[in-house]
């Protein structure tokens, strides 16, 4: 239940986004059913879908980013304990891998391997 919280948060964010878009589409169809003009119906559906995508994205991006942050912190902690030969904490290793030659500093110069 408490394994891989970052991945679960990212999955929850995707679910929230999909649910928000689905609710926006349903709401747009329900609201447009009461209108007589075809162009006004299409406009209501378009606005409803567009706004639900924007609201869903804004609502879920922070949850997704926090899940990504959790995964990255877990990976950094595992790398720190592996490189410094300290006692490994009781948790599974992250699935994320980065090749040593792909690490760079802020000046875009390759950091030499130690």
In a domain, 107, yes or no: no
> How many domains in the chain?
1
In a domain, 108, yes or no: no
Give the pLDDT band of residue 57 (cuts 50, 70, 90). very high
In a domain, 109, yes or no: no
In a domain, 44, yes or no: yes
Q: Domain of 95? A: 5-102
pLDDT digits (tens, 9 = 90+) for 12-22: 999 999 999 99
In a domain, 37, yes or no: yes
In a domain, 23, yes or no: yes
80, 70, 68, 69: which is closest to 2 by C-alpha? 70
- The predicted pLDDT at position 97 comes to 60
Write down the mean pLDDT value for the chain: 81
Cα–Cα dist 31/56, whole Å: 19
Listing DSSP states for 32-83 in one string gives: HHT---HHHHHHHHHHHHHHHHHHHHHHHHHHHHHHHHHHHHHHHHHHHHHH
97, 90, 50: which is closest to 72 by C-alpha? 97
pLDDT digits (tens, 9 = 90+) for 71-81: 999 888 888 87
């Amino acid at each position: 239940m408490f394994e891989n919280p970052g991945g679960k948060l990212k999955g929850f964010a995707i679910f929230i986004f999909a649910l928000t878009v689905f609710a926006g589409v349903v709401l747009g169809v329900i609201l447009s059913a009461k209108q007589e003009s075809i162009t006004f119906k299409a406009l209501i559906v378009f606005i409803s879908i567009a706004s639900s995508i924007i609201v869903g994205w804004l609502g879920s991006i922070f949850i997704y980013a926090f899940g990504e942050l959790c995964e990255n912190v877990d990976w950094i902690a595992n790398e720190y304990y592996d490189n410094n030969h300290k006692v490994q904490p009781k948790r599974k290793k992250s699935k994320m891998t980065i090749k040593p030659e792909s690490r760079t500093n802020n000046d875009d110069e390759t950091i030499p391997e130690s």
